[in-house]
Amino acid sequence: MKVFLTGATGVMGLSAINALHEAGHRVVGLARSAGKATEVANAGAQPHRGDIFDRESLLDGMHGCDAVCNLATRVPIGNAALLPGAWKANDRIRSEGSRVVIDAAREAGIGRVVQQSLSFIYGDHGDDWIDENSPIDVTRYAEPVVVAESQLENFARNEGAGVSLRFGLITGPDGNSAWLLNRARAGKATGMGSRDGWCHVIHPHDVGTAVAAALTAPSGIYNAGAEPIQRKDLVDVYAQAGGRKEGKFYGRAVMKLAGQKVELITRSQRVSSQRFSERTGWYPQYPKLTPDWFDALESRHSS
């Protein structure tokens, strides 16, 4: 297939380019500047200059493509996520941007669209397993993701195949994990929420292979991630990777201050990706979080 990819220069996008090439596809990657076009070309894909909000540039890039994968995001990292208006750009990409992408895909006669989504939108289900039929809990911070999914569902009902991938928390060699690892290394808190709560994580490598597998999936919503891990263990893995014995949790005062902005990541979510595996044969190459997921970050730190 020839695949048009947004977010091609990001953590998810670069991983997807590799996996799509390995699966024998050709990739046209959206790039917002000349420098980013070089990054896309260096990754082996064909760059196409444009912006997710510029419908004409998308239409042009989608010409002759069979599928579209929408992986563009702009997630604030670390304390920046707590600043006023921090999520505005990302919210706009998810709600308005996904609409522009899907409208362009419709007009370009694209047969399949893959949309990145998040398993954070499920409610807190304690120790119960979560599958794609489990209830979601829509707050102001979950809403843009839900809007993107519903736009894709509409496409899948009327035009072509549509697959939403509910990824877990991206963990490994990426900016957010690097920030957390630095905190762990300094003996600072990285944990938010209850110690026994469950977290759904995914290695960036497996984000890419899941996107490639989504090109073969029946329309629908799928969870994609590694084995869920209890938060106390997640925090300890960060600590160990940072050369410490035990991880720490944020105190009540900080959690109260952060409020709704971090509520999504404090939910207990024991998410199963079984449906995606059964329907596509996809399995994570990184099935269980261990400190070596951060090896690439460690070598960057020590070099």
Least CB distance to ligand NAP at residue 207 (A): 8
Q: Which helix (H) or strand (E) holds 183?
A: helix 175-185
**3-state helix/strand/coil string of 260-285:** HHHHHHHCCCEECCHHHHHHHCCCCC
- Rounded distance between C-alpha atoms, residue 94 and residue 234, angstroms: 27
Residue 158 vs 222, nearer CB to ligand NAP: 222
> Which window, 2-10, 59-67, 121-129, 276-284, contacts ligand NAP (CB under 6 A)?
2-10
Least CB distance to ligand NAP at residue 158 (A): 25
The verdict on 225 binding ligand NAP (CB under 6 A) reads no
Question: Residues 152-171: x/- map of binding to ligand NAP (CB under 6 A)?
Answer: ---------------x-xx-
Least CB distance to ligand NAP at residue 270 (A): 17
The verdict on 51 binding ligand NAP (CB under 6 A) reads yes
Tokens at 161, concatenated = 């195949």
For the stretch 92-95, contacts whose Cβ atoms lie closer than 8 Å and that sit 24 or more positions apart, written own/partner, are 92/144, 93/52, 94/144, 94/145, 94/147, 94/148, 95/143, 95/144, 95/147, 95/148
The dihedral over CA atoms of 107, 113, 119, 122, expressed in degrees to the nearest 10, equals: 50
- Number of residues binding to ligand NAP, judged by CB under 6 A: 26
The verdict on 213 binding ligand NAP (CB under 6 A) reads no
Q: Which of 17, 19, 27, 52 binds ligand NAP (CB under 6 A)?
A: 52
The verdict on 174 binding ligand NAP (CB under 6 A) reads yes
Place of tokens 């370009």: 108
Residues in region 9-48 near ligand NAP by CB under 6 A: 9-11, 13, 30, 32, 36
**Closest CB to ligand NAP belongs to which residue?**
10
The verdict on 55 binding ligand NAP (CB under 6 A) reads no
Residue 13 vs 246, nearer CB to ligand NAP: 13
92, 75 in Cβ contact below 8 A?
no
The dihedral over CA atoms of 110, 112, 115, 116, expressed in degrees to the nearest 10, equals: -130
Least CB distance to ligand NAP at residue 230 (A): 18
Main-chain phi, psi angles of 200, to 5 degrees: -105, 120
The DSSP output letter for 2 is E
Query: Can you give the binding site for ligand NAP, defined by CB under 6 A?
Result: 6-11, 13, 30, 32, 36, 51-53, 72-75, 77, 93, 118, 167, 169-170, 174-176
